[in-house]
A and B are shown apart, each in its own frame.
Chain A
Amino acid sequence: MNKLKDALKLFAIFFKIGLFTFGGGYAMISVITHEIVEKRKYISNAEFSDLVAIAESTPGPIAINSATYIGYRKAGVLGAIFSSIGVCLPSLIIIFLISLFFTDILKYTLVQKAFRGIQCGVSILVFMAGVKLLKNIEKNWISYTLIALSVLVMLSMKFFSYSFSTIFIVLFGAVLGIAVYLPKEKKAENRPIAQDSDKKEGGDTE
């Protein structure tokens, strides 16, 4: 019974977070810090940075990943489900209402012009979202080659109108990462300094 109460409370908190955060997952992280870590102290600051690292490293929307994690910590599986549904329910309602008339407004010339302008703005926003991720990347030539490679592959798909799923690009990265970095880390393990560089990895997400 207590768990259900906690779960309902989590639902309300995450509903509020979902309702008032604009701009996707990363914007949500700062609101979650405020609501969950500072105000309610559901989890500690240290655990929160672990959470962010996990949410960023697993598939899916960061907000859902965080909500599931915090919900489970506070009220088990029920809490996880209630939190996740809570965080996406405001979007669901708002976007559903918008979807009822969005295609119709796009028919007006002035709206079309506005959206042509908006697409110019969105191209900057999306590009910069990619640029922001640069700081989480290993600084070495392998990474730079991979960045260039993925840009080239994505553009060439467009130019030569062939297509394969970006899933394969990501999987290729995973396999390559293991093939390239794992032997190095294993080798480093035999030296005593290795432990420290391992620790640094985890704290990077702050």
Chain B
Amino acid sequence: MIFLKLFFTFFKIGLFSFGGGYGMLPLILQETVKNGWLTESEFYSFLAVAESTPGPIAVNMATYVGSTQGMFTYGGNVFFGALGSIIATLGVIMPSIIIILLIVAILKNFLKYRAVRCALMGMKPLICGMIMATGITLAITNILPNLYSFSLKGFSYMALIVTAILAGIYFGYKKLFKKNLSPILLILISAVFGMLLL
């Protein structure tokens, strides 16, 4: 039953992924690819959409996967797409709601517990590394798509150039204006470069 599977998979994602939207990406990627719901390339393409539309990234991901899987399973029926998107979204937000309610109503001093703080001190570096690795993996996939089977075949020097230009723009903007370039703007610029050069 696809809807149960969607619910429990996204419930699991909501329960075990820390660090907000980006921190949730590695697990969402793993689970959606494992279930055959998205290919890695589809995942990253849709991630760009999720970043360019309002709302939490994890909710956007859940809605998209829920909708496409619901429709796919029931021969393109839009109603089941809507149902799938609601169920997957409820799945991903429910652990948050339950946990926060527990903390705010019962475990008021949650963050003051020494064991909690120590656990977080151990978890945070790993989450940070996981997110950076997700970015590095994507860059490698863009530039050297076959490196993972230890081959330099398919080396895209244009992707290397585009990535370098975009990094230049990102850091140049940061240096010049002392704030981060909006993700939407960077995505739009990337799209233009992609259309021209890739």
Contact = CB atoms under 8 A, between A and B. Distances in A.
A193 to B, nearest CB: 16
Interface string A78-104: 001100100110111011101110110
Contacts, number: 404
Contact of B56 (A25, A81, A177, A180): A25
B135 interface: yes
Main secondary structure of the interface of B (DSSP, over half): helix
B22 A129 contact: yes
B133 A150 contact: yes
Contacts of B41: 119
A96 B116 CA distance: 37
Contact of A84 (B57, B97, B182): B97
Interface size class of B (residues with CB under 8 A): 35 or more
A201 interface: yes
Main secondary structure of the interface of A (DSSP, over half): helix
A73 B104 contact: yes
B120 to A, nearest CB: 5
B195 A163 contact: no
Interface string A126-166: 11111101101110001110111111011100110101011
Interface of A: 18-26, 28, 50, 53-65, 68-69, 72-73, 77, 80-81, 84, 87-88, 90-92, 94-96, 98-100, 102-103, 106, 110, 113-131, 133-134, 136-138, 142-144, 146-151, 153-155, 158-159, 161, 163, 165-167, 169-170, 172-178, 180-182, 185-186, 201-202
Interface of B: 12, 14-27, 30, 34, 41-42, 44-60, 63-64, 67-68, 71, 78, 81-82, 85-86, 89, 92-93, 95-97, 99-101, 103-105, 110-112, 114-142, 148, 150, 159, 162-163, 166-167, 170, 180, 182-184, 186-187, 189-195, 197-198
